[in-house]
Structure 1
Amino acid sequence: MSDLEHLDVLVVGAGISGVGAAYRLATSSPGTSPARTWAVLEARDSIGGTWDLFRYPGVRSDSDMMTLGFPFEPWTDPDAIADGDKILDYLRATADRHGITERVRLGHRVVAAEWSSADARWLVTVEHAGGRDQLTCGFLYLCSGYYDYDRPHDPRLPGLEDFGGRVVHPQFWPDDLDVAGRRVVVVGSGATAVTLVPALAARGADVTMLQRTPTWIASLPRRDRVRNALQRVLPPRAAGSAARWKNVLGTLGVYELSRRRPALLRSLLSRSATRALGSSELVADHFTPTYDPWDQRLCVVPDGDLFEAVRDGRAHVVTDTIETFTEGGVRLGSGRELAVDVVVTATGLRIRIAGGIAITVDGETCRTGDLTVYRGTMFAGVPNLAMCIGYVNASWTLRADLASRYLCRLLDHMDRHGWRVAVPRAPGGMAGQPLLPLRSGYVQRAADELPRQGDGAPWLMRQNYLLDRRDMLHGDVTDGMSFAR
């Protein structure tokens, strides 16, 4: 291994998590001597992650940009719910401004990582256009999210192979697809579907959202008037911080309401939808799920654009099951038939933990489904490895930034005491439970692949920014951790 390039920290992924991690690594310990070495490896040919991959019509944030944006780089665009191209520009500008772009190695896909206790380092195998290389690192930080970028979920829709029109998946939206004047069916009712339907209607499609079951949908203003007012009277960083905290507390309050008084939140969401649609019957038939809000992820529509498109007759919603696709459309379980030119399968994403990297520790394979998370960031029994996982009930970046700052605290502690190895050690007899508190299909389908969490701190991944901020930024980094030189 001595002839291989060695880095103190290797970050995998140059999306929103990786760019944030790089900033924290670059700024957390500027006086460290010798300077900490690090780099970012990105499998794709450009920076941006999710926001570089998804190019379907209307793609946008489903969280407000004051919390989805970085705390060190306040979001200043007037839109609080922003389009994907604006977010991508923001990410790339942030990476350029802070000298991160030059530290990113594009077109480098990590395929394997092997920990050696004898060498106290990771041996990382990387594929790129020139072939395959290896390098070593002291600490490996996976910032590749938990979605499969290469394969979306395929529910095997019956008879789809017999359909004579065009079939597309939002994850791989074709540049040449013109929907104007065409009959489009969007299969699904999640965040992607509720984004696509009004966007396709605006492009002149006769669009129908075909859903098996409804989803809870909340309308939020595209522009945050309070944030915009703060920007007029405060410096950019102060205005960004104030707006960020306003939205953190507001989002947390809604989530807590959903857990403590779900019937009240159901009523509030239903009344809001009724006002937007002008029809309680439409709400009862197509926008009232059987589950409580936040049992599955709550979908957001900016300025109620989906409701407006349905109310104006530019889009339609059908709640039914699919019996089979035919040459010219789809036959539903009710016997109704829809004539279709284009089918959009907005049927969800697949979870892939650790970016599909084959991870071994001293020759033993680490199966992600067998692991237990520590502080929602590291894994019991796995040395010098962290993974960035964001919130499911709030902006991803809120928790991603805490994870990166915690990792920097841990690295600083190790440097001060001469430790080379940090391994979380789970207590005996700890009860395990699912990692993500959602009943969404993509979570249930990945039950065997998702790591578990414990029953108490620091083994419990709480969906609470205030508690996490206290523990990740000020908690004892030695709690539940063993160190070695």
Structure 2
Amino acid sequence: MPNSSTGVNYQEPLHALIPGIDTFQGRVVHPQFWPEDLDCKDKRIIIIGSGATAVTLLPSLAKVAAQVTMLQRSPTYILSRPNRSCARSWVGYLVPDKWYHQMQRLSSLLTGRLFVVWCLRFPSAAKNMMKKVTSAQLPSNLSYEPQFSPRYSPWQQRLCLSPDGDFFAALRSGVATVETGNIQRVVADGILLNSGKMLDADLIVTATGLRLLMGGGVKIKVDGHDLDLSEKLMWNGVMIQDVPNAAFVLGYTNASWTLGADVTAQFACRFLRHLLARGKSAAVPSLPESSAKFDTVNVMKLNSTYVKIGAKDMPKSAERKPCTGRTNYFSDLAWVKLGSLERGLRYDAVEVCKLLSTSLECHTTYVDSQNP
């Protein structure tokens, strides 16, 4: 069942209530709709936000702007990381290229996973580590408190990576800076904070987040009835309750998103081979009635603002199989290779699906209900 979408609404961004934004005499831009004719040269720019978009924009804009200020309500953990693999040692030349690249990939996967586990198991130590490595990269005019000290522990929300430390290099250049505070109101030539501080600006960039959109906004109908995804549970992080023959691509919020796509693709291949081997035409995740009593959680397992807002339109997951969402790449890959394709799936459904421009209609007729 093909449907290409990214999970992001490209027509409507996540709007934030910014008092007085209409009174600003300069230009206001949302990163999702970046004008091709926008000239940032020698401009005083304020980026409102502290997520990945803001952290990515700041070093790029600092190359041409007169001044760039990242204005945040609360800080984000930002970690520098080399934007390339380590140089190949002499040991690497003793093995074939294929083996070497496989070892590099495995090393990267294990390092990332162990770091996340360590942060979650030892949050105090993780906070101290982040403070130490961040403080070492800051210019003398910026302190760790309060600009880089979030209220939460690492990986309770996504951690931002700065390739080759470009974010901190921009701060040390003197062109870019970070300001933490709440907006009292936007005025004609800048932003006034509750603290009374005035930030002058010629251009305001509202990097306030993306609006999540499941399935590209396609409405799903099963047997003539609209399906409300927010009332459904995920099946092992890849299929959705009561939707036949449909695998949804979800990535990892604490690792490369494409790893989740890799797991889903491998599952889809195994699932189709399994259908053919059994001589079946379709399978539908059909969870037991007791699943209605499961304690559900956000399928992305984050408490970021954009995730909380988008959660009302997304399926849920639980801590019990087979209703779990994504866990980690290694355990998910093991399940894709060896896990049961029987538990929680109902086979022998004759499926007819029509992918229309705005909806997906599925009609299922069960000819054998012996395998609930």
Q: Does 1:473 align with 2:337?
A: yes
Q: Does 1:216 align with 2:207?
A: no
**Residue 402 of structure 1 contacts residue 473 of structure 1 at CA under 8 Å; is this kept in 2?**
no
What does residue 2 of structure 2 align with? Answer: 11
Return closer, same or farther for 1:154/1:228 CA change in 2, 3 Å cut-off. farther
* CA deviation vs aligned residue, 1:43-67 (integer Å, no higher than 9, x gap): xxxxxxxxxxxxxxxxxxxxxxxxx
What does residue 254 of structure 1 align with? Answer: 115
Q: 1:174 aligns with which of 31, 35, 57?
A: 35
What does residue 335 of structure 1 align with? Answer: 196
What does residue 98 of structure 2 align with? Answer: 237
**Residue 250 of structure 2 contacts residue 326 of structure 2 at CA under 8 Å; is this kept in 1?**
no
Q: Give ranges in structure 2 of 5+ residues lacking alignment.
A: 350-372
Q: Does 1:440 align with 2:296?
A: no
Alignment of 1:261-280 (within 5 A): 261-277=122-138
Greater Cα offset, 435-444 or 280-289: 280-289
What does residue 191 of structure 1 align with? Answer: 52
Q: Matches of 1:299 and 1:265 in 2, distance apart?
A: 15
Greater Cα offset, 471-480 or 232-241: 232-241
Partner AA of 2:343 in structure 1:
D
What does residue 455 of structure 1 align with? Answer: 319
Alignment of 1:424-439 (within 5 A): 424-430=285-291, 431=294, 432-439=296-303
Scaled by the length of structure 2, what TM-score is found? 0.89
Alignment of 1:58-457 (within 5 A): 144-226=5-87, 234-277=95-138, 282-430=143-291, 431=294, 432-457=296-321
Q: Matches of 1:328 and 1:401 in 2, distance apart?
A: 48
What does residue 104 of structure 1 align with? Answer: none
**Residue 75 of structure 2 contacts residue 149 of structure 2 at CA under 8 Å; is this kept in 1?**
yes
Return closer, same or farther for 1:359/1:227 CA change in 2, 3 Å cut-off. farther
Greater Cα offset, 400-409 or 427-436: 427-436
Q: Matches of 2:131 and 2:90 in 1, distance apart?
A: 30
Return closer, same or farther for 1:184/1:278 CA change in 2, 3 Å cut-off. closer
Return closer, same or farther for 1:407/1:168 CA change in 2, 3 Å cut-off. same
**Residue 380 of structure 1 contacts residue 424 of structure 1 at CA under 8 Å; is this kept in 2?**
yes
Q: CA deviation at 1:448?
A: 1.1
**Residue 320 of structure 1 contacts residue 334 of structure 1 at CA under 8 Å; is this kept in 2?**
yes
Q: Give ranges in structure 1 of 5+ residues lacking alignment.
A: 1-9, 14-143
Greater Cα offset, 331-340 or 272-281: 272-281
**Residue 227 of structure 1 contacts residue 243 of structure 1 at CA under 8 Å; is this kept in 2?**
no
Scaled by the length of structure 1, what TM-score is found? 0.69
- CA RMSD in angstroms, aligned pairs only: 1.8
Report the identity percentage.
Answer: 38
Q: CA deviation at 1:226?
A: 5.0
Q: CA deviation at 1:230?
A: 7.8
Return closer, same or farther for 1:260/1:358 CA change in 2, 3 Å cut-off. same
Q: Matches of 1:190 and 1:230 in 2, distance apart?
A: 39
For the residue of structure 1 that corresponds to 2:188, the secondary structure is: coil
* CA deviation vs aligned residue, 1:207-252 (integer Å, no higher than 9, x gap): 0000000001111012221568787665443333211111111111
Q: Matches of 1:444 and 1:229 in 2, distance apart?
A: 49
**Residue 139 of structure 2 contacts residue 171 of structure 2 at CA under 8 Å; is this kept in 1?**
no
* CA deviation vs aligned residue, 1:369-404 (integer Å, no higher than 9, x gap): 111000111111221222111111101111111111
Partner AA of 1:283 in structure 2:
Y
